[in-house]
Amino acid sequence: MCGISGYLGSGTYYQAIEVLKKMGRAIAHRGPDDSGEWFDSNQGIGLSHRRLSIVDLSPAGHQPMISASGRYVFAFNGEIYNHLFLRKSLEEGGLAPNWQGHSDTETLLAGFDVWGIQDTVIRAVGMFAFAVWDRSTCTLTLGRDRLGEKPLFYGWQGDTFLFGSELKALRVHPAFNAEVDRNSLALLMRHNCIPSPYSIYQGISKLQPGNLLTVSLQQRDLHVVPYWSGNHIVEAGLAKPFAGSAAEAVDALEDLLKNAIGLQMVADVPLGAFLSGGVDSSTIVALMQAQSSRPVRTFSIGFHDDLYDEARYAKAVALHLRTDHTEWYVTAKDALDVIPQLPRLYDEPFADSSQIPTHLVSHMARQHVTVSLSGDAGDELFGGYNRYVITSRLWSRLSHLPVEARCMLSAAITSVSPQKWNAMAKTILSVLPKKAGMANWGDSLHKGAGVMASRSVSELYRGLVSHWPDPSAIVLGSTEPATVITDIARQPLVHCDVERMMALDMLSYLPDDILTKVDRAAMGVSLETRVPFLDHRVVEFAWRLPLEYKLRDGVGKWVLRQLLYKYVPKELIERPKQGFGIPIDSWLRGPLRDWAEDLLSESRLRQEGYFNPAPIRQKWTEHLSGKFNWQYHLWDVLMFQAWLDEEKGCSGV
């Protein structure tokens, strides 16, 4: 795992090298082990690289790296899990160079020389973002992995084309002069993140997953082509579904995941895994331990608040699988101390509050390992989110009620505060089996009530994944841009409502929120994370599975659960779904109140000129009263405000 940056533009060699060093230092946390710069003053191209050494720790892995032919110069961030297979293919064909080391970077460059850039990327299994300069055609190619695990920003600033793993690297270049994009800010208010291809800055974009981009100083227009399409994979999988039995589906998934995990366990540094005790992470750890001759290192964090604590479940799974388990029960102070770091960690405004525990567990893991596997993407691929269950079980009944009746029911539900609903639920559910419980029941009721007036499943889904329902009324001078969620032309052709929601989550929520959250939280402490569920062969198989193999009897991830039960007793896993969160709602009324009040003050909001203060102040007042929980809406605004403070150099809690 590494950090890359660079630019196309003019400059003397020595000036350029200093700029490239500065760009690299801005993202040194992504690669603390080594650094390198390369600049061609005749062509005006510069590459900068920061290295986190994972495979081939020797100087032979130093970057930027030049291919054996001398044609390509390469800066690479990521891991190619099947690179030894690619090497073997080159060697058997008599096409391999005299290898200088055993890094996957050298393997890719050899592939470029023989197969070309696009064909090599198609053959690769892995996660990556890269920049490669072709000396023969004088063109720069940027590439990003299929599902969006690794980030890559780019854009023209005047006569200079900038690119990098994080915006920090672009901002330090003298040509950078971008302004805040109010339209992107509107997207942040809806989704708590800024979906690709947009960024917080005008003229700066994120390369979308599965794409290659080419550009040159002679041809400034960007040429973007997909080498892998999530839309196509969804449509192809549904068109030719898996025809085997349920038992055969479980076995086939087990074989695919074992292979993916086995490849991802290869590293020349200590390796472990995050373990929450849920279905996804437990499956990953179980299959890791099944292939390991010694106990796998596992990590979890706990909270002293039962609504947010999963550590006890993780410990039970770890004891059963006999892993080498480490847990950390964090205090409110531990979590609160992370908040001042968030603008620097996430680099552009990002408001998924689970960023805090994700950073904490990454920080703990980094004390012991350099690589950690995670269970992310299981929900999107195998139907794990509650909204899928709501849609499949309740929408058909709810939609028969007149909209007016649903609005009245919604008003009745929201007239009772989440805290009161939680108190009532605690009393009622105390006499029911444990599995009947639900964390934050009141918040879930309020969220559901907010979308009861939906006129279609698409409208229902958009409501469920939205925070501020009309962001353009909050962000002054903004027009909310189209995204895959709102533009049907960008969506795969899917007839089943639940499968459409799963597809949209995979295409948007997964890369723009989940994977962004994990990448920045982990790379902020120089920890590489790997996601076995995102081996593209696993993804393609998941989309061939019929929906009844995923969602059955109101429970998601059916096929994954059957696989896990081969390794872990059912009673250790079955419990209500619990998000990876923290009590932001109560903290905003307590230890964070003064900090939030300062960032949300009416005079400040008016002076800065980005927000309409009235609706924000109303929600802040209602939240403080305890009648409503507006933590998500307020956190969106607060994370932008804190980021803006960082931009001005005056952040702090």
Which residues are designated catalytic?
Answer: 2
| DSSP code per residue over 420-488 | HHHHHHHHHHTTS-GGG--TTHHHHHHHHHTTTT-SSHHHHHHHHT-SSS-GGGTBTT--PPP-TTT-G
As given in the structure block, the two tokens for residue 87 are: 């090497």
Strands 211-215 and 297-302: unpaired
363 vs 342: CA distance, rounded Å:
14
Are 52 and 33 contacting, i.e. CB atoms less than 8 angstroms apart? yes
Closest CA to 576 of 303, 278, 152, 334: 278
Q: What b-and-e string marks burial along 7-42, b requiring 16 or more CB atoms within 10 Å of the CB? A: bbbebeeeebbebbebbbebbebbbeebbbbbbeee
Q: Phi and psi (nearest 5°) for 272? A: -150, -155
Cα–Cα distance measured from residue 489 to residue 209, given in angstroms and rounded to the nearest whole number: 17
Angle at 513 between CA 499 and CA 288, to 5 degrees: 80
Burial zone of 499 (CB within 10 Å; 0-12 exposed, 13-18 middle, 19+ buried): buried
State residue 156 phi and psi, 5-degree precision.
Answer: -80, 135
C-alpha distances in Å from residue 286, one per residue of 6, 126, 248, 255, 325: 41, 21, 20, 13, 13
